[in-house]
Structure 1
Amino acid sequence: MKQAYPRFQAAKDKQKIVIFLQDWFSKNGPEAQAVVGISGGKDSSVAAALCVEALGKDRVIGVLMPNGIQADLDDALSLVKHLAIRYRIVNIGTPYKEMLKALQYTEAVTHNNFYFSVTDALQQNLPPRLRMATLYAIAQGIPGGGRVINTCNRSEDYVGYSTKYGDSAGDVAPLAAYTVDEVLAIGQELALPAHLLHKAPADGLCGKTDEDNLGFTYAVLDRYIKTGSCEDETIKKKIDHLHACNQHKLAPMPMVAR
């Protein structure tokens, strides 16, 4: 049985998020800055624009974090310029390479039945974790402090399409209740550039689009999340499997009951 949600209305929901952010910051950092990792994609663009509406452009800081050379860095730059927010570029390329070297050394000297390997998955998930560490470092170094904005949407969260303690982390998640199609509609309400909203979503880690990696489209996923309907039984089973095995990314850390 799918959880019922109120009917989505882009203009009203946009304003609802703005009020939510204003209220959250008033309680959790009245003088704090919103720190947003800017990738140049729809989610970070919409999240940053919502923060600007809620707090004003002087309280929003964009952080661009290419891993060496990043093909879509110009998109990220166009977003911060469109919003007229302050920003920093922190290239994680060198720390990423040095971390891999350290891990590969660990792999080389592994002994006493402790197996360790620098896998493709490890290499793909390391950059998001370095980026989140960067965001928190910048948030801590800002006079008055910063709060890190999580940019994941409901569709990604539903199937665990994020890196634990990487892009799945943050202090507040303005888009977590909204599916991809709804995030796009909110972005249109915010008058964001179409080339940022509608470019093919990609994690920037493996050279594939999100939909190539998932094996189904966000349109199919969004419909299934909201209605429980999916004509392709194979895809339905895959979505259910991903949803079940990735619950640990969303659940609070388990602890012993007292």
Structure 2
Amino acid sequence: MNVLTTFIKQEIEKAGFKKAVIGVSGGVDSALSAFLTVKALGKDNVILISMPYKESSKSSVEDARLVGEVLGAEFHEIDITPQIDAYFKRFPEASKLRRGNKMARERMSILYDLAYDSNALVIGTSNKSELLIGYSTRWGDNAHDINPLGDLYKTQVWELAEYIGVPERIVKKKPSADLWPGQTDEGEIGFSYYLLDQILVAYVDLKIKKEEIIAFGYEPEIVEKVMRMIQRSQYKRKLPIICKIAQRTVDKDFLYFRDWGI
């Protein structure tokens, strides 16, 4: 935990800021990011934003408020229904996924606007499991300035959230992006995070080959699906690809503070 809070404090200050903005959904990931950031910066330097849609579950809205109450940080609730519905009046045939992606990007637009207004940076809430399989919206919930959870698997997020004092009802509830009524993360993925993380740890961290993972007793169809999700979502884990022409290129050679002559 100390590594994460130190990371948040150092990266915020290194960039010349003192405050942070976090979108709180009522889920465990955003709650953990909020708890860590308050520990790192103090509650007076953290702004929590809940952005429900008219179909958001009542429990998600209440749990987002609970995070604000427990932490005592500045909290705002902004209903995104008017702008979302106004846009989709033009596209009434739009799928649930398309609508969900639009909501995610609208929420991030609000976070960055409020971050600018408060001279703050946006804290990410995407965990390693989601990032590896692409379970996020590009320029939506996977957009941020710094991300303390990006190297924690979902199962690790649950453990750390329980340890740090995130309310039990948030830690224990079924994970959901709450994009439409009844939607759950594991329902969309097709299997549990516990199973997903076992395969991801083997493949990514331990560098075990697909065939060996299957030989351990995991269902070939599930292992194959995880591999496909990792491969197909690689573009989500990269900044827009720049065609390298010059000797020193942004995001390839010009990367670090030392490049500024500091």
Give yes or no for TM over 0.5: yes
Distance 1:233 1:21, change over 3 A: same
Q: Does 1:40 align with 2:26?
A: yes
Structure 2 gap segments, 5+ residues each: 204-212, 246-262
Offset of residue 121 of structure 1: 2.4
- Alignment of 1:191 with 2:165, yes or no, is yes
Aligned partners of 1:179 and 1:222 also within 8 Å: yes
* Cα distance between partner residues in 2 of 1:29 and 1:91: 31
Q: Give 1:1-258 correspondences, 5 Å limit.
A: 14-31=1-18, 33-70=19-56, 71=58, 72-103=60-91, 118-142=94-118, 145-206=119-180, 207-228=182-203, 229=213, 231-258=218-245
Task: Give SS of 2:86's match.
Answer: helix
- Percentage of matched positions with identical amino acids: 30
Deviations along 1:171-208, one digit per CA (max 9) or x if unpaired, are 01110000011111111221111111121001111332
Aligned Cα root-mean-square deviation (Å): 1.3
The one of the two structures with greater contact order (alpha-carbon pairs below 8 A, sep at least 6) is: 1
Q: Report the Cα distance in structure 1 between the residues aligned to 2:172 and 2:134, rounded to whole angstroms.
A: 22
CA contact (8 A) 1:149 1:172 kept: yes
TM-score normalised to the size of structure 1?
Answer: 0.86
User: CA–CA distance in 1 between the matches of 2:189 and 2:30?
Assistant: 20
1:97-155 deviation per Cα after TM superposition (whole angstroms, max 9, x unaligned): 01112445xxxxxxxxxxxx73332112110000000101111112xx01111100000
Work out whether residues 68 and 94 of structure 1, in 8 Å CA contact, stay in contact via their aligned partners in 2.
no
> How far apart are the structure 1 equivalents of 2:117 and 2:122?
12
Q: In structure 1, what is the Cα distance between the partners aligned to 2:44 and 2:7?
A: 19
Count of aligned pairs? 230
Kept in 1: contact 2:17–2:121 (CA 8 A): no
CA contact (8 A) 2:115 2:122 kept: yes
CA 1:97/1:118 → structure 2, altered by over 3 Å: closer, same or farther? same
Shift of 1:256: 1.0
State the one-letter code of the partner of 1:164. Answer: R
- Of 54-63 and 223-232, more deviation after overlay is shown by 223-232
| Structure 1 spans left out of the alignment, 5+ residues | 1-13, 105-116
Alpha-carbon separation, structure 1, partners of 2:102 and 2:11: 30
Secondary structure at 1:126's aligned position in 2? Answer: helix
Deviations 1:33-56 (A, max 9, x none): 210001111000000000001000
Letter in 2 for 1:193: P
The alpha-carbon deviation at position 29 of structure 1 amounts to 3.0
SS of 1:157's partner is helix
- Secondary structure of the equivalent of 1:254? coil
Shift of 1:166: 0.4
